[in-house]
Chain A
């Protein structure tokens, strides 16, 4: 059971969220196949401090970005996604 710290609503039950997956640095669209393969299939994920996106569907309706240890389910810090960048 996750209690996800939403910056707008506080700690809320995971039931209220849709998962957006880990935050991955994708290359430029013009990058070659090998680079895209590495980014899509073999991303470097920090299991102790995984950056990921959640959509607070049954709350504020915002996408939020969190950092979570996927073994202990502890959340470290959280922030709103920077809408200015990809």
Chain B
């Protein structure tokens, strides 16, 4: 069914009791052309673009939990493309172009709000580096500019620009297309369209292992039996490492905890996404009025899925440096997730040494913003095409070959991200 003012009126007349389910439950088949392990944003986007761009509908998306219940629902919903290195920039820039029209295309309101991303600099040296980054972005086709202190004061009146503060603000990088997207809606929107075109989406059914014979993958073993497939994509975030290790492929990733939290809702006070760079603390206001905050990782290996107060305190102290009114608010909710961060902090996407087995993982806590672009490019790869140029730098083989994409320039220390 197509969502419209008419469908809304009709359903209102029936007391909203007869909305069809977003995903039609289907009986599992014994064979699919393509199986995608992981029904998060990336897996569902790949399924959708397989159908939309390549006409392939014989696809199963399977997940041990529910739709978009993993890291798709555990991020701070920020989208932006302010990256210096060409490989990191290209995918996120392509994603921003797609976010722009995705709500109309999916007939599902993703609430893409290009409210502008403001990246604060705390020294002249840092501001100079931001100019380099802004220039690189402009060369890549994005729009980016530098805000002076005066421009910042006009744009964000509540920002603390006191020169006596601990890390005074000297300017900022600004990307107008950056903003937020409602993360849950991304999973639901892609799932609904994929399901409409006949793609099967199976929730609450764990994939236990991959069937590999003679260096070629032939299917998966699930809680409901074995299913064979011509090609398989593993897009299971933290779950990918275990599955791939069983199949004999060791992934260079380490699990680290990341936290985010929201305050009680207040009237509109902040209409941009703002990032504090002396340490890390990013903040935006949701449509409900809650201030959404996030910071760096907990900084040590953990699969506990529970956060530490040290990081909460750290993130809030930095946020309060930006907006001194913040300590008057109470925190309402807090969540954390396990990010699997590769040794250079960048994702692993593309082919593996096992034939017909593809991978998309290791996005750490930077995967949400790239969702539609990764789906688009992976669909190209899975449909039997060549490896897209945009994915080539993210090959698993780059670690052995020494071609790391080290955005932060810190070497093989994933816990520093």
Contacts and interface: CB of A to CB of B under 8 A. Distances in A.
Interface of A: 1-2, 13-15, 19, 21-22, 33-34, 37, 40-42, 45, 47, 50, 52, 70-73
B300 A42 contact: no
Contacts, number: 50
Contact of A42 (B252, B255, B313): B252
A37 B397 CA distance: 11
Interface residues on B, range: 20 to 34
B155 interface: no
Contacts of B415: 19, 21
Contacts of A71: 302-304
B241 to A, nearest CB: 11
A59 B302 CA distance: 23
Contacts of B400: 33-34, 37, 41
B308 interface: yes
Contacts of A15: 310, 313
Contacts of A72: 304
Given A1-B310, A71-B304, 18 more contacts: A1-B309, A2-B308, A19-B300, A21-B413, A22-B301, A34-B400, A37-B400, A40-B412, A41-B399, A41-B412, A42-B250, A42-B252, A45-B301, A70-B301, A70-B302, A70-B303, A72-B304, A73-B304
Contacts of A19: 299-300, 415
18 contacts: A1-B308, A1-B309, A1-B310, A15-B310, A15-B313, A19-B300, A19-B415, A22-B301, A33-B402, A41-B412, A45-B254, A52-B300, A52-B301, A70-B255, A70-B303, A71-B302, A71-B303, A73-B304
A9 to B, nearest CB: 17
A72 B302 CA distance: 9
B313 to A, nearest CB: 8
A26 to B, nearest CB: 12
A14 B308 contact: yes
A45 B413 CA distance: 14
B91 interface: no
Interface string B261-301: 00000000000000000000000000000000000000111
B343 interface: yes
Interface in B299-319: 299-304, 308-310, 313
A1 B313 CA distance: 12
Contacts of B413: 21
Contacts of A47: 301, 303
Name the 10 nearest CB pairs between A and B, nearest first: A41-B252, A41-B399, A19-B300, A1-B308, A15-B310, A41-B343, A71-B303, A70-B301, A37-B400, A40-B412
Contacts of B301: 22, 45, 47, 50, 52, 70
A71 B255 CA distance: 10
B109 to A, nearest CB: 38
Residue with the highest number of chain A CB atoms closer than 10 Å, among B254, B301, B304, B343:
B301
Contacts of B402: 33
Interface in B371-410: 399-400, 402
A19 B412 CA distance: 14
A72 B304 CA distance: 6
A13 B254 contact: no
A42 B241 CA distance: 12
A14 B307 CA distance: 12
B82 to A, nearest CB: 27
